[in-house]
Structure 1
Amino acid sequence: MTTPNFAISTLSLTGTLEEKLDAISASGFSSVELGALDLSGSADGVSGSVTRLKQSGVGICALQEIKDFGGHSGRILAYKMELAKSYIQLMHKLDCRLLIVTPATSVHVKHDMDKIASDLRALATLATPKGVRIGFKPLSWSPSVNTYAAAWELIQRADTANLGLVIDSYQLMAQTHSPERLDHIPASAISLVQLSDFAMTSVPLVEDLIDIARHHRLYPGEGSHGVGVCELVRYCLDKGYTGDFVFDVYNDKYLSTSPADSIQHAVQAREWLLNRLNG
């Protein structure tokens, strides 16, 4: 079996960008999923962050994220597209090739699938000249795009080669869906795979879905769904996926410790997964 390349999200760690990069490099991770806030939070501004990232030698597998995208019109849509332009310009400087986008979560947005597909097509077209790909991730609490079946149908409707799917193990397992639910999606359409675990065996309420996703995720091996995470990694590898597997873990407890301490959870999760994949 091909050995997976594990990466980590900078948003899973607290501290300055420099502290995060030092901890990431020291722990043997060669690439990161970068949070846009890490670019603007530096004392020497965005340009300083760009320089620091380039000097670190750490690759950037994705930038997250543009939230609540698709279905808007007028000034809101114009704002989202301008935000995308600024992100794409930065990504070009950073040699980052994937921009993550998530769907609208408000019930007040017009959830017209043709309109959402059209918006995604326009975004993918905007990103193409800079060599940036758009990775769309459904959210289990979105009123319109809350499953991978719905997201894949939307991507097919958008009908552009520059648009793919981001697979998030949390979004999959929170709905008790197995990796086989992804059978109809070709490996070439998978842009990134994000990994996390959580403690609850089921998540029946929308409020719980959101709260756990933003504050109580765990690393694989620490929660109740480690077997499912391992099966997802093996499934993607067997399917022919060759991209990164990113630890995308947001937990208030981990964020209360230093990057050097909290990243040890990621190191243990990496070894836990490798031992089971090779066992």
Structure 2
Amino acid sequence: MANNPVFLNLVLLEGQPLTLLHAAKQAGFDEVEIWQENVLAAEGGAEAIRAQAQRLNLGFTNCQVLRDFAGAPRVLREEKRQQAQQFFQLAQAIGCRTVQAPACTRTDCQADLIDEDLCWLSAEAARHDLRIMYEPMAWSTVDNRLGPTWQRLKRLDLPNVGLVVDLFHIAARGDDASVLDAIPADRIYEVQLCDMAEAVTPGDMTQLMETARHCRLLPGDGILPIATFVAALQRKAYRGPVGIEVFNDRLKQQAPQSAAAQAFAALRRCWP
């Protein structure tokens, strides 16, 4: 853990946003993944979030989540671009350099527009001195596996767009750690760790999304070969942020200090 910033996705915690930042820092995390909803719900808004983070010396791994951007139908293009600009402004307001934009999940996703949209997003983010984290999710319409998504980014060669490596989405699609072999370490912008109690069926979207949004486990508490993924990342000398993204209803009901401490302990065990 000494060479990697460690983060907690605030989705694990319940409570007032400023309290959640304190809980994450108290547990030992260097950074947090913060949601737009966290910023909007904070008393004092973005200014208060930024001031609290500065007091705590707590960084932001990213601001999320810019949904369904790349590949949205043309009729929505202007609306989506306005949303992106709002996210850029929000990220800058809290002192965050990275916006997360997962692959489109719409059933009417336009595959032929994805490249163009990512290029626009890259150029606009660069004007704001920001980066984009592009995440293939197991239920994304087109870019739903890490390997093919990396091939797209490799072909586009956008200097400020990199991958999110999320173990849940990799395993949910039936891939293993070998999918990481071809990806340069500097093109991975973050690694999200979690676990699951039982395997999900890639074609069963109901089960997959229920597990993803409510029943993920802390790494080491389930069946995923966490150590294999960690070893693959460490072999390639990955030095970027690594952390916990766990959607878990039971943990979310606990005091944020307790849930954050459990998350940090799990991270220490699996990422030495």
TM-score, length-normalised on structure 1? 0.90
Corresponding position: 1:185 with 2:183: yes
Partner of 1:171: 169
What is the rounded CA distance, in whole Å, between the counterparts of 1:203 and 1:4 in structure 2? 32
Q: Within 5 A, what are the aligned runs for 1:96-111? A: 96-111=96-111
Partner of 2:251: 254
* Paired residue type of 2:243: V
Deviation per residue, 1:112-159 (Å, 9 max, x gap) = 2xx101101100100012221111110111221111122112213433
Partner of 2:20: 20
Contact persistence 1:39–1:50 (CA under 8 A): no
What is the rounded CA distance, in whole Å, between the counterparts of 1:224 and 1:140 in structure 2? 18
Partner of 1:9: 9
What is the rounded CA distance, in whole Å, between the counterparts of 1:30 and 1:176 in structure 2? 31
Residues 74 and 176 of structure 1: is their aligned pair in 2 closer, same or farther, counting only changes over 3 Å?
Answer: closer
Deviation per residue, 1:10-47 (Å, 9 max, x gap) = 12111011211221121111111111111100132333
- Aligned residue pair count: 271
TM-score, length-normalised on structure 2? 0.93
Please state whether the residue corresponding to 1:69 is helix, strand or coil: coil
Partner of 1:207: 206
* Paired residue type of 1:220: P
Residues 130 and 40 of structure 1: is their aligned pair in 2 closer, same or farther, counting only changes over 3 Å?
Answer: same
Percent sequence identity over aligned pairs: 27
* Paired residue type of 1:11: V
Please state whether the residue corresponding to 1:141 is helix, strand or coil: coil
Deviation per residue, 1:224-274 (Å, 9 max, x gap) = 11xx22222221122121111120001111111110121132022023214
Structure 2 residue runs of 5 or longer lacking an equivalent are: none
For the aligned residue pairs, the C-alpha RMSD in angstroms reads 1.8
Contact persistence 2:102–2:137 (CA under 8 A): yes
What is the rounded CA distance, in whole Å, between the counterparts of 1:3 and 1:53 in structure 2? 21
Partner of 1:231: 228
What is the rounded CA distance, in whole Å, between the counterparts of 1:77 and 1:53 in structure 2? 34
The alpha-carbon deviation at position 75 of structure 1 amounts to 4.6
Q: Within 5 A, what are the aligned runs for 1:70-89? A: 70-89=70-89
The alpha-carbon deviation at position 160 of structure 1 amounts to 1.6
Contact persistence 2:69–2:104 (CA under 8 A): yes
Contact persistence 1:54–1:94 (CA under 8 A): no
Contact persistence 1:14–1:259 (CA under 8 A): yes
What is the rounded CA distance, in whole Å, between the counterparts of 1:3 and 1:49 in structure 2? 26
Query: Hey, which bits of structure 1, 4+ residues long, moved more than 4 A?
Result: none
What is the rounded CA distance, in whole Å, between the counterparts of 1:192 and 1:239 in structure 2? 14
Q: Within 5 A, what are the aligned runs for 1:128-139? A: 128-139=126-137
Contact persistence 1:117–1:157 (CA under 8 A): no
Contact persistence 1:65–1:100 (CA under 8 A): yes
Residues 124 and 257 of structure 1: is their aligned pair in 2 closer, same or farther, counting only changes over 3 Å?
Answer: same
Please state whether the residue corresponding to 1:221 is helix, strand or coil: coil
* Paired residue type of 1:99: V
Please state whether the residue corresponding to 1:249 is helix, strand or coil: coil
The alpha-carbon deviation at position 49 of structure 1 amounts to 2.5
